[in-house]
Amino acid sequence: LLFSVGHHFWKEKNFKSNGFPLQTSAMLKYPVMVRNVYLYLQDISFTGNVFFISAPIGAQNCDSAEGPLTNTTDFTESDKWHWLDSSKNEKYWVDIFSDSNISFYFLNISRFAISRPDAHPKGDCLHYCLPGIPDIFINFLANLIKYQE
């Protein structure tokens, strides 16, 4: 079972879920969503593997990037698009699943993704050119799955 929430979850305020009123920040809904996934898998006695792949962090000023970053801490200086929100909350998956009897694997591609601001299409500092970086993410995931069997 593979999960990846991504960045667009953070924009969602226009639906009621788990008793949250409309316009409730997705930041408040996120841990509840993760807990509900966990409880559901426990309820159905899920015995497979659960894989979570982190969201790639967008690159600030990718249009001027000339190559890979050598210092990946540079991206924290400005986060006007809230790209770091995903990374801040993905820890809930690890926190909830680490103490369970469910086989859980977390593939963190965030730091790797931020190291390649030059791999984005012009004018889009979140998505990537294909073929490219996402193909490497898939190779990471395929190897993780292969060696967990």
Confidence check: pLDDT of 44 > 90: yes
DSSP code for 17: B
Look up residue 98 and give its two tokens.
């680490």
The answer on pLDDT for 34 being more than 60 is yes
Which residue matches tokens 């559901």?
40
Q: Which residues pair with 107 in a beta bridge?
A: 53
Using only C-alpha atoms, the chain has a radius of gyration, in whole angstroms, of 17
At 12 the pLDDT is: 62
Sign of CA dihedral 22, 38, 2, 4: positive
Average pLDDT, the chain: 82
| pLDDT tens, residue by residue, 89-137 | 888 999 999 888 899 999 988 878 888 888 888 888 888 888 888 888 8
* pLDDT score recorded for residue 33: 85
Whole-angstrom Cα distance, residue 119 to residue 49? 31
User: Which residues lie below 8 Å from residue 27, measured CB to CB, with a gap of 6+?
Assistant: 10, 85, 89
